[in-house]
Structure 1
Amino acid sequence: MSQQVQSLLFLKPGQMMVSSVPTLVTTLLGSCIAVTLFCPRTRFGAICHAQLPSCGSPAGCSHEDPSHAKYVDCAVMMMLKRLRAHGVADKELQAKVFGGADMFEGSVKHPGVGSQNAEMALQVLNREAIRVVRQDLGGERGRKIIFHTDTGEVLLQRLGKSGVS
């Protein structure tokens, strides 16, 4: 049984959050990626809205710098670090991945940023052995998602072909 929702949050591009407080988090995605993580035992939920695949830093991602949440690889690792600090084991996590639309025409030889974001999210989750239980990736249409941090439920609405990023 879900607790009563304590708060509502609109997640902007480049943001992430981890919470044990029941929160409804909504965001709009085009080429960006949202990764949700949920632990049924602790009822901790986490979500990011990442814009680019990787920070590309030779030193790796800064898990302390909030501006790095705009990168898929950094954002996922930042969420994992915070969840682990709360006693969540990786094997307990359920991941869901959304977005990665290629909203603008690209070529087969050079995948668009949406495809690159989707690929990076799945690579990082696979590398960290996080189970992906649902994904809705690619295509040419944006998405609106609503994430329930206390249940892990994600409601998805596909948007008309428009300028969502």
Structure 2
Amino acid sequence: MSEGFTKFFNEVRVQQGDFDLGAEVARMRAGDPRIGAVVSFVGTVRDMNEGAKVAELELEHYPEMTERALRDIVAQARARWPLYGALVVHRVGPMAPMAQIVLVAASAAHRGEAFAACEFIMDYLKTEAPFWKKEQTPEGARWVDARVSDDAARAKWAC
């Protein structure tokens, strides 16, 4: 471990406004010479879902419950891998197709740990974080159900 760098970068934010991937990752790295890998994932709004055109996606949440769930997911990732940082930025409110919804990033000495932690955080976020999605389609508004594929992705981490 490099001298002077024992701090873990840990940030979880739920916000309405957009985020800048480059600026967020730069803040996460912040001159920490221990970091050999930063892996990030950005999820975006698709214009189609389950065969219907999506004009808008709206995400709702319970603020304190959601942030607590996200912090817990990051803590679980830290317990599994030797990370130097984790960042989760999740947007709420109405968003148009192509808008950024979520950013998950993990930093570590090596890419394997960073990739695994980033994927773990995202898989758990999709199944454990209390967000509700409503789509506006030509047929009207509809709530989006949880996906079996998300549960399957999360299940691979069970030990």
TM-score by length of 1: 0.28
Structure with the larger helix share: 2
Kindly name which structure, 1 or 2, has the bigger radius of gyration based on alpha carbons: 2
